[in-house]
A = this chain, B = another copy of it.
Amino acid sequence: MQWVKVLGGLVGAAALLGLGIILGHFAVPKGADAPSSSVFQDLDLEILETVMKQLDASKIRENLRELSKEPHLASSPRDEALVQLLLQRWRDPASGLDSAEAPKYEVLLSFPSREQPNRVTVVGPTGTVLFACRQSEQDLTGEQGGPDVVPPYAAYAPPGTPQGLLVYANRGTEEDFMTLRAQGIRLEGTIALTRYGGTGRGAKAINAAKHGVAGVLVYTDPADINDGQSSASETFPNSWRLPPSGVERGSYYEYFGDPLTPYLPANPSSFRLDPAAVSGFPPIPTQPIGFEDAKILLCNLQGTVAPAAWQGALGCDYRLGPGFRLNGDFPTDSQVNVSVHNRLELRNSSNVLGIIRGAVEPDRYVLYGNHRDSWVHGAVDPSSGTAVLLELSRVLGTLLKKGTWRPRRSIVFASWGAEEFGLIGSTEFTEEFFSKLQERTVAYINVDISVFANATLRAQGTPPVQSVIFSAAKQIRAPGSEDLSIYDNWIRYFNRSSPAYGLVPSLGSLGAGSDYAPFIHFLGISSMDIAYTYDRSKTSARIYPTYHTAFDTFGYVDKFVDPGFGSHQAVARTAGSVLLRLSDSLFLPLNVSDYGENLRSFLQAAQQNLEVLLEQHSISLGPLVTAVEKFERAATALVQHVSELRKDTLDPLQVRMLNDQLMLLERTFLNPRAFPEERYYSHVLWAPRTGSVATFPGLANACSRAMNTSPGSEAWAEVRRQLSILVVALEGAAATLRPVADL
């Protein structure tokens, strides 16, 4: 095993370590097991190399086998057994952490009824059931069965047994339903068959209900997930593709966090909303089905042929309905019955938190997390991430217990509960400790699915984490290659032209797809998500094919996703290197000037796409231009200042002050009053954006809403307000980066 050695970064570590020893009399003994620490303790490249070497692919494979050997739906007995497994690992005397706890929240989950399974049937004119969709997936390899496999369902969809004529509604967007209406199709009382993708799960039912639709079915089209392939011979277990009976489960709740306790931790005594008053649940019964069943329904529809963009790969012309065609499998006036018997239940869900106390700055936290709960066996989602988490904590824990190493800052490992129901464990955690976390957290590293596929690294994050991910990726060998670094491989798949650096790998932005969401959007903590992923020239699959199905098993990963576990190891090394750099570097490796490129590109998009419109309403982008320039100047000056510091005259408080500026920059973009209707979204740069202009979300969204209103409207006032909020945030960010005694 080779580790590409490219020494980089700001600091001459050897020189500083020397200084650290000289100044060692400042150290406060932290216990017999700790090496002596110094206020100048810096990243130790030897330790980093040791960690990289010790991260073991076969151990990750063993972790994954154990983690995914049983289904571990949130709050199930097996989920709780994994809590114990994590606690045991993190409390291990030889390889554990300083401490580990498993606090519980009492959260609202949704489950199908065991007694009354959900059922989708075709009912003939006389009431006879002519056809019934499968109620569970086929057990193809002996890995997909058993009593703990939860049947496919749409979590949080309400119970009910609507029955009506079937229509095909493509992806269930508002536009899709308008298209059906424009065709003269009466939607009231119908059952809408939709396919995954294009919009959030819950949105399909919300859009449908607005048009009077009585029930919604959702399936995964082979065109979207299998590059068109659908036969048994082309799919799992003969390839990584989704077999015909596979059904994507998922949460259909529109927001995140425990639905009953927005902004409050779901402790037993916490105030809870009346479930009937919760907004964001699907309003009508909804049920997911496999494409095998969808084909029977869809290929029997009558009516106009659907638009080309609505067609899929089921091997027939998709028609709109309503109702079935003449000479098909069913009488034309047969209806579809959707019987949903889901129940809401208050359940205990645990997070597991494991801590390595920092030697020098224990009040600075680097968080590293992933969720633990799965829909079924969840080998890829989320156990591929948890397998990496456990290997990383084993390696670090071993160094810790041996007394070889203790990080400068505290490291907090987290195994979140109930993510699949809406990032619940992580959100409750941020709600419980919001002050402390905001004040002290350096960054949050999320590794959920660690390997979607084994082609390349994929990273999402806010600009300050770009540089540390790049540093890590440059020093690690790409799996399956002798001389290519992860970085060099990555840049071949995802890249962009950076004004400052030329061609670099492109970092994705953070939505709300995993547990980083409450950290970045609610608390303004610099966050990232790291994984290995597809070669997009080889597949256009919406996501890995067995996502949220019973086919996401250990055997699937071992055979198809990452044989040999080299990609898992690559992710463990990359995320581990990022973690060590953040926890151990004397100066935080957060490059604040990289935010400048992002602001500049948002500004340019606004200038190119919105400026003419804004000028028509006498709104100037001038103050925004000035604010971006101020930010750029302050960020560049700060980075320059840090790079010029004479290492031999450093003052430990000076280092801390500069690090505070770097750490807290992300917080300056937070304004809890910016988007009062967007629950948890307070980050003025990364809140959800509608429309196609890649610019500041508040401005973009307000402009979309104002566009067709009169000049004096409330909507135009909101455009002005959003622009001011943004300017104040950017000016405040610049102020945070300027020399600290300037006001």
Contacts and interface: CB of A to CB of B under 8 A. Distances in A.
A653 B656 contact: yes
Nearest to A38: B651
Interface string A299-322: 000000000000000000000000
A741 B269 contact: no
Nearest to A431: B728
Contact of A652 (B26, B620, B724): B26
Residue from the set A410, A667, A728 with the largest chain B CB neighbour count within 10 Å: A728
Contacts of A227: none
A732 to B, nearest CB: 5
Interface string A721-743: 10111011001110110011111
A440 B732 contact: no
Contacts of A101: 743
Interface stretch (A351-359, A501-509, A511-519): A351-359
A432 B741 contact: no
A725 B261 CA distance: 11
Protomer copies? 2
Interface in A657-679: 657, 660-661, 664, 667-668, 670, 672-673, 676
Given A657-B362, A724-B269, A732 B433 contact: yes
Contacts of A731: 432
B732 A654 contact: no
A477 to B, nearest CB: 34
A666 to B, nearest CB: 10
A34 to B, nearest CB: 12
Given A657-B361, A725-B264, A727-B269, A651 B39 contact: yes
A131 interface: no
A642 interface: no
A92 interface: no
A668 B440 CA distance: 13
Contacts of A433: 732, 735, 743
A741 B366 CA distance: 11
A232 interface: no
A27 interface: yes
Given A269-B623, A652-B26, A653-B653, A353 B736 contact: no
A621 to B, nearest CB: 10
Given A653-B360, A653-B361, A672-B673, A721 B435 contact: no
Given A436-B736, A740-B440, A264 B98 contact: no
A667 B440 CA distance: 13
Given A433-B735, A435-B732, A440-B740, 18 more contacts: A26-B651, A28-B654, A39-B652, A264-B721, A265-B728, A267-B623, A353-B743, A355-B741, A362-B657, A412-B743, A432-B728, A432-B731, A432-B732, A433-B743, A435-B664, A435-B733, A653-B653, A672-B672
15 contacts: A27-B651, A28-B651, A264-B725, A269-B620, A271-B724, A274-B717, A355-B743, A362-B657, A363-B660, A433-B735, A435-B667, A435-B732, A435-B736, A439-B664, A652-B652
Interface of A: 26-28, 39, 98, 101, 261, 263-265, 267, 269-271, 273-274, 353, 355, 357-358, 360-363, 410, 412, 431-436, 439-440, 620, 622-623, 649, 651-654, 656-657, 660-661, 664, 667-668, 670, 672-673, 676, 717, 720-721, 723-725, 727-728, 731-733, 735-736, 739-743
